[in-house]
Amino acid sequence: MSMKSWMLGAAIAAMTVVGVTAQAEGRTVSKGVAKSLQAAQAASKGKKWAECISQLHTAEGAAGKTDYDTFIINELLGACAAGSGDYATAARALEASGNSEYLPAAQQGARLKTLMQINYTLKAYDKAIDIGNKAAKAGSIDNDMQTLLAQSYYQKGDYKATKAFTAEWIAAQEKRGQQPRESLLQINLDSCIKVKDEPCTTRTFEKLVTFYPKPEYWQNLMRSMFREGGDDKTKLNVFRLAVDVGSMRRGDDYAEMAQLAIEQGLPSEAQAALESGFARKVFTEQRDIDRNTRLLNAAKTKAATEKAGLAQADRAAAAGAKGDADVLVGESYLGAGQYAQAVTAIKRGLAKGNVANAAAAQTTLGIALLKSGAKADAANTFKAVKGDEAQQRLAKLWAFRAR
């Protein structure tokens, strides 16, 4: 018997013996079973489970047995069977006594919880699910039972139902301003992965890093967001977040970020990404080292030209009617580590009102503000991102970083 099972059996035994003592007050069992029941209860208190069960079998065969006698026999049998590790017998006995008129209404919720735990231990997942839903309908389900219900769906292999149940529960907790349990979020995550629902997987990782910002959750979230794809502006902002949270691990990530930056006219940012990758020694194969060395050298050449012409590009963008040029200048400043100038340029571009991807520009403005140390302004800027679901979700994560 496992330690967990032993603890469950001991808990059931203790709960039931105490309950029998309380319930027996004011009532008497019939003379035909009294001696056997007294002997059984004494044996249960001494944890002599086999003797307890033997005495109860004697009581079961007594002539003239009343319904109340049967109730007490089943209560004690549930305790002693659980104590001995015979959960199947315990479940049958406690379910029978639980359906009796003699079990006080105040104990019905606890009984359902006990039966749910036993059936889960027995891997009778359908039964555990039925009991959990019955408790939910009666309004007597607690957090432990909800977790057990989610686990029962999962262990049964009904991942679609697991996902739906846990998602609804998580949403209800968030609506009440409560923090969902980490174990609940993990069950939801596993079910999303099992049904190959990538958006669901990403959303759950987002919740995990929001409530439990562990490095492994951030790393997995970044991987999930990369798999989801998106346009190049979104991808680059995802890479920026990955760098900020320290979850960039693969050489391919640094190389892809650099390539995206170069394609978007941001060679200084590409140079910074590749130099960081080399510093972390993420390029291990010689062919990768050679290829990314060539890419770094190209980025350096272009970055030198970019920096030399940045002041002139800033003036030209400011004089122009289109905000996209200002945003690009702002991103160049961001890549060069000149955050105050980046903020000024991107704000100027957004103010013109004709930026092609305003949501991405707003997110980038928030990043520049955060890098400049203006955390409160950055958080407000991230909250203001609208019009693009991917950027809104990304901005929400950046807002968390701004906290």
Domain boundaries, the chain: 3-123, 142-228, 310-402
Please indicate whether residue 142 or residue 316 has the higher confidence score (pLDDT): 316
Query: For position 255, what pLDDT does the model report?
Result: 95
d(C-alpha 262, C-alpha 324), whole Å: 17
Indicate whether 199 pLDDT > 90. Answer: no
Best CA proximity match to 239, nearest among 397, 402, 400: 397
- For the purposes of burial, counting CB atoms within 10 Å of the CB of 175, is it exposed (0-12), middle (13-18) or buried (19 or more)? exposed
What pLDDT is attached to residue 13?
Answer: 53
Task: Judge whether residue 16 has pLDDT over 70.
Answer: no
What is the topology classification, in CATH, of domain 310-402? Answer: 1.25.40
Provide, rounded to the nearest whole percent, the portion of the chain with pLDDT above 70.
93
CATH 3.40.50.300 matches 142-228: no
Decide if pLDDT at 388 tops 90.
Answer: no
Question: Is the pLDDT reported for residue 237 higher than 80?
Answer: yes
Q: What's CA 24's distance to the chain center, in Å?
A: 45
Determine how many CB atoms are found less than 10 A away from the CB of residue 367: 26
Least confident of 17-31, 206-220, 366-380: 17-31
What are the pLDDT digits (tens) for 146-197? 889 999 999 999 999 999 999 999 999 899 999 998 999 999 999 999 999 9
Residues 6+ apart with CB under 8 A from 386: 359, 362, 392
pLDDT category of residue 11 using cuts at 50, 70 and 90: low
Instruction: Please tell me the distance from the alpha carbon of residue 277 to that of residue 88, in angstroms, as a whole number.
Output: 58
Side chain identity, residue 328? L
Residue 139 pLDDT level (bands cut at 50, 70, 90): confident
Mean pLDDT computed over 73-95: 92
* CA 125 distance to own-chain centroid: 22
For the cut 70, the answer to whether the pLDDT of residue 300 exceeds it is: yes
Residue 56 has pLDDT above 80, yes or no: yes
Mean pLDDT of 78-85: 91
Domains 142-228 and 310-402 share a fold: yes
Mean pLDDT of 121-136: 93
pLDDT score at 342: 96
Query: Does 145 score more than 80 pLDDT?
Result: yes
First-residue to last-residue Cα distance in the chain:
48
> Which two tokens mark 18?
């105490």
Q: Which of 8-22, 168-182, 300-314 has the lowest mean pLDDT?
A: 8-22
Q: Per-residue pLDDT for 122 more than 80? A: yes
